[in-house]
């Protein structure tokens, strides 16, 4: 074989080919808060599915840490139940056996020296027997008031420090603070133990396929970007509507509310991806730098009595089911002022977006579950048609459907067939399920794998988190000083004040 031939590598198999799934190297994960809802419903099934897809190393280890007095077998049974209930792949006994073999459970509180010493010993034993190579991710699926204890204990017990040639990372669930100041304090605590490049803050919306497609759509094509600015776009609506109520989650949600729960993180991340400039390279640093610029330029528009709205759901009908109001939900404080619906008007103070309102809204117990981003265009500057010809035509729009029915829709005017000139709105619709046979990975699968691979693009940085709070804080303060949220009936599209908020600008919410 000539030397030229020897050097030849199949380009489809090069190390940098992002089409090939990457497999995590030797590693293990410790989950704090493993008995919580999120671990049971999302994390444990995602870990099993990754193993089943062959994306975890054969010797992967999973250690649970919590207060229960569980044996290894009891922990295995608990994980098995979570996997049976939540996994997306077909159960494979062999994969399960291999994964279960690498499980361990350590009993303790979050500030318990002895228990963390036992955890450190457990991790060492596993490294010696399963070839995890000293590479560990610590998943904090716990309320933020325990972050300090756990970080301190990880440091004290030596667990935070990676042996040579190995890594230690921390994965953190939201809520990350309740305002800018508390988020800053948490960042200081976490960053005093783990350098920022070892911190992976979860925003599971960034793990969604359709959210990642925003960048592909904007920057891989020539079609959209020339129109993506204030010359052509009238306003942007970002909607995250849920039909579920708060049954069972009162403890977490009361005092937090819709804006802190999802606007501070998911919706502001969507806004950043829609609005950012093209990163000079598609790598984590560049992408995050662009997001930071946008968040820094974003402000909530005042006066807040007109530019924001908030509400609480009351009893009503959700489809054919009769449902109770927030204040009657089990364990919810009947006098709570926590909002289950929030809408804001934001502006982005830069050349591309000056003067374009970004309306964000989210709510529980709304008409249906849907997350979408609609870019609504201005009217054409001149129409050669009679006003009556275009009477039934609205504004052009590009709608990115994040979920469900993932896809992208374009709305524009088209001539109605016939002998007269009449223009009416039509939709051109791309749907993932029709265009692709490939299945989208579950957000948590993608994010857990990325964290193990040290691929940080989809994780917000400390700056992003603090800037997002900075945008929200003035509104939260205004709401806290101004009494009760409005009411809206379950199954409707939120309080009337939310409609009024757009009408004052001559706009209307889309009815998805
Ligand atoms: C979570 C919120 O971050 O996102 C929940 O805490 C919300 O309140 C959930 O229900 C919605 O996630 P998804 O992926 O179902 O849209």
CATH code for position 269 = 3.30.360.10
18 band by pLDDT with thresholds 50, 70 and 90: low
- Kindly state whether residue 22 falls inside one of the protein's structural domains: no
| 183-186 contact pairs (CB < 8 A, 24+) | 183/465, 183/466, 183/469, 184/466, 186/144, 186/147
* pLDDT at position 31 over 90: yes
* Number of folded domains that form the chain: 2
Q: Is 266 a catalytic residue?
A: yes
- Ligand 1 atom nearest to 249, measured from its CA: 8
Distance 494 CA to ligand 1 centre (A): 18
* Region 149-174 average pLDDT: 96
Distance 368 CA to ligand 1 centre (A): 14
Same domain, 57 and 164: yes
User: Closest Cα to atom 9, ligand 1: which residue?
Assistant: 262
* pLDDT at position 1 over 50: no
User: Closest Cα to atom 6, ligand 1: which residue?
Assistant: 261
- Kindly state whether residue 7 falls inside one of the protein's structural domains: no
User: What residues line ligand 1, using a CB cutoff of 6 Å?
Assistant: 242, 261-262, 371
pLDDT at position 3 is 41
Q: What's the token pair of residue 485?
A: 């949220």
Ligand-binding annotation for 184, yes or no, is: no
- Kindly state whether residue 249 falls inside one of the protein's structural domains: yes
- Ligand 1 atom nearest to 174, measured from its CA: 3
pLDDT at position 4 is 41
The active-site residue, picked from 178, 235, 266, 507, is 266
- Pocket residue to mutate for ligand 1, from 211, 244, 266, most atoms within 8 A of Cβ: 266
Domain extent for 360: 209-440+461-504
The residue assigned the tokens 């318990």 is 112
Q: From 173, 199, 221, give the residue that closes a domain.
A: 173
Sheet of 61-66, strand order: 103-107, 61-66, 28-32, 136-140, 168-172, 199-201
pLDDT at position 51 is 97
Q: What is the CATH number of the domain that holds 82?
A: 3.40.50.720
Same domain, 373 and 246: yes
* Region 487-501 average pLDDT: 97
7 band by pLDDT with thresholds 50, 70 and 90: very low
pLDDT at position 32 is 97
Same domain, 139 and 232: no
Least confident of 34-43, 83-92, 129-138, 314-323: 314-323
27 band by pLDDT with thresholds 50, 70 and 90: very high
* Region 245-258 average pLDDT: 86
Per-residue pLDDT of 279-310, as tens digits, reads 999 899 999 999 999 999 999 999 999 999 99
Q: Determine the Cα–Cα distance for residues 226 and 218; give it in Å rounded to an integer.
A: 10
- Ligand 1 atom nearest to 244, measured from its CA: 10
Per-residue pLDDT of 384-393, as tens digits, reads 988 888 888 9
- Kindly state whether residue 120 falls inside one of the protein's structural domains: yes
Same domain, 58 and 157: yes
pLDDT at position 250 is 80
Same domain, 309 and 219: yes
User: Closest Cα to atom 4, ligand 1: which residue?
Assistant: 262
Ligand-binding annotation for 169, yes or no, is: no
- Ligand 1 atom nearest to 253, measured from its CA: 8
Of 172, 463, 455, whose CA–CA distance to 289 is shortest?
A: 463
* Residues 370 and 210 sit within 8 Å (Cβ to Cβ): no
Per-residue pLDDT of 221-244, as tens digits, reads 999 999 999 999 999 999 999 999
Give the containing element (helix H, strand E) for 46.
helix 44-52
Strand, helix or coil for residue 331: coil
* Residues 268 and 463 sit within 8 Å (Cβ to Cβ): no
Phi, psi of 346 (to 5 degrees): -120, 155
Distance 461 CA to ligand 1 centre (A): 20
What's the whole-number average pLDDT of the chain? Answer: 93
- Kindly state whether residue 4 falls inside one of the protein's structural domains: no
Phi, psi of 40 (to 5 degrees): -65, -45
Per-residue pLDDT of 176-195, as tens digits, reads 999 999 999 999 999 999 99
Bigger pLDDT: 15 vs 357: 357
Same domain, 215 and 167: no
Ligand-binding annotation for 364, yes or no, is: yes
Distance 310 CA to ligand 1 centre (A): 18
Distance 173 CA to ligand 1 centre (A): 12
pLDDT at position 441 is 85
**What are the DSSP calls for 151-204, one per residue?**
HHHHHHTTTTSPPTT--EEEEEPSP--SSHHHHHHHHHHHHHHS-GGGEEE--G
9 band by pLDDT with thresholds 50, 70 and 90: very low
* Region 146-166 average pLDDT: 96
- Kindly state whether residue 21 falls inside one of the protein's structural domains: no
Same domain, 361 and 407: yes
Q: From 173, 200, 221, give the residue that closes a domain.
A: 173
- Pocket residue to mutate for ligand 1, from 144, 260, 261, most atoms within 8 A of Cβ: 261
User: Closest Cα to atom 10, ligand 1: which residue?
Assistant: 242
Distance 271 CA to ligand 1 centre (A): 17
Q: What is the CA radius of gyration of the chain?
A: 25
- Kindly state whether residue 328 falls inside one of the protein's structural domains: yes
Q: From 146, 173, 200, give the residue that closes a domain.
A: 173
User: Closest Cα to atom 15, ligand 1: which residue?
Assistant: 242
Ligand-binding annotation for 261, yes or no, is: yes
Same domain, 370 and 469: yes
* pLDDT at position 6 over 50: no
Of 343, 357, 258, whose CA–CA distance to 299 is shortest?
A: 357
Of 216, 173, 149, 129, whose CA–CA distance to 465 is shortest?
A: 173
Per-residue pLDDT of 414-435, as tens digits, reads 999 999 999 999 999 999 999 9
320 band by pLDDT with thresholds 50, 70 and 90: confident
* pLDDT at position 8 over 50: no
Same domain, 292 and 155: no
255 band by pLDDT with thresholds 50, 70 and 90: confident
- Kindly state whether residue 423 falls inside one of the protein's structural domains: yes
Question: What percent of the chain shows pLDDT beyond 70?
Answer: 96
Same domain, 104 and 243: no
Same domain, 247 and 133: no
Same domain, 110 and 244: no
């Amino acid at each position: 074989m000539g030397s030229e031939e020897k050097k030849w590598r199949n380009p489809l198999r090069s190390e940098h080919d992002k089409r090939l799934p990457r497999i995590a190297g030797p590693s293990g994960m410790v989950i704090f808060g493993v008995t919580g809802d999120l671990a049971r419903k999302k994390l444990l099934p995602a870990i099993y599915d990754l193993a089943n897809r062959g994306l975890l190393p054969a010797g992967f280890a999973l250690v649970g840490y919590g207060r229960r007095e569980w044996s290894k077998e009891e922990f295995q049974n608990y994980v098995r139940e979570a996997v049976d209930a939540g996994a997306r792949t077909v159960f494979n006994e062999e994969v399960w056996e291999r994964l279960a073999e690498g499980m361990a459970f350590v009993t303790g509180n979050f500030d318990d020296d002895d228990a963390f010493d036992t955890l450190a010993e457990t991790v060492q034993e596993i490294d010696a027997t399963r070839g995890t190579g000293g590479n560990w991710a610590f998943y904090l699926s716990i309320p933020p008031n325990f972050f300090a204890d756990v970080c301190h204990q990880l440091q004290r017990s030596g667990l935070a420090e990676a042996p040579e040639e190995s890594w230690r990372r921390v994965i953190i669930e939201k809520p990350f603070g309740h305002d800018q100041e508390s988020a800053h304090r948490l960042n200081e605590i976490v960053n005093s133990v783990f350098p920022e490049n070892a911190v992976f803050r979860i925003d599971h919306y960034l793990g969604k396929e359709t959210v990642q497609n925003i960048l592909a759509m904007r920057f891989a094509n020539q079609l959209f970007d020339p129109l993506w600015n204030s010359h052509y776009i009238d306003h942007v609506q970002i909607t995250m509507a849920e039909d579920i109520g708060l049954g069972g989650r009162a403890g977490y949600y009361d005092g937090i509310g819709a804006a802190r729960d999802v606007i501070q993180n998911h919706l502001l991340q969507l806004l950043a991806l829609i609005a950012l400039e093209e990163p000079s390279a598609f790598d984590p640093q560049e992408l995050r730098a662009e997001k930071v610029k946008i968040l820094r330029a974003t402000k909530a528009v005042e006066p807040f009595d007109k530019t924001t709205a908030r509400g609480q759901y009351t009893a009503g009908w959700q489809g054919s089911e009769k449902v109770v109001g927030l204040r009657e939900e089990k364990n919810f404080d009947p006098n709570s002022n926590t909002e289950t619906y929030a809408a804001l008007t934001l502006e982005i103070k830069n050349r591309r977006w000056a003067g374009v309102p970004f309306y964000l809204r989210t709510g529980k117990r709304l008409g249906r579950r849907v997350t979408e981003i609609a870019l609504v265009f201005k009217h054409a500057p001149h129409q050669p048609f009679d006003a009556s010809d275009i009477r039934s035509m609205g504004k052009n729009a590009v709608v990115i459907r994040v979920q469900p029915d993932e896809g992208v829709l374009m709305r524009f005017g088209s001539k109605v067939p016939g002998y007269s000139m009449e223009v009416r709105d039509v939709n051109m619709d791309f749907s993932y399920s029709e265009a692709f046979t490939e299945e989208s990975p579950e957000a948590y699968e993608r994010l857990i794998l990325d964290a193990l691979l040290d691929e940080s693009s989809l994780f917000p940085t400390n700056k992003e988190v603090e800037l997002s709070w900075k945008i929200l804080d003035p509104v939260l303060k205004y709401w806290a000083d101004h009494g009760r949220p409005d009411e809206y009936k379950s199954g409707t599209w939120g309080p009337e004040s939310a409609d009024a908020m757009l009408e004052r600008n001559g706009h209307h919410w889309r009815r998805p």
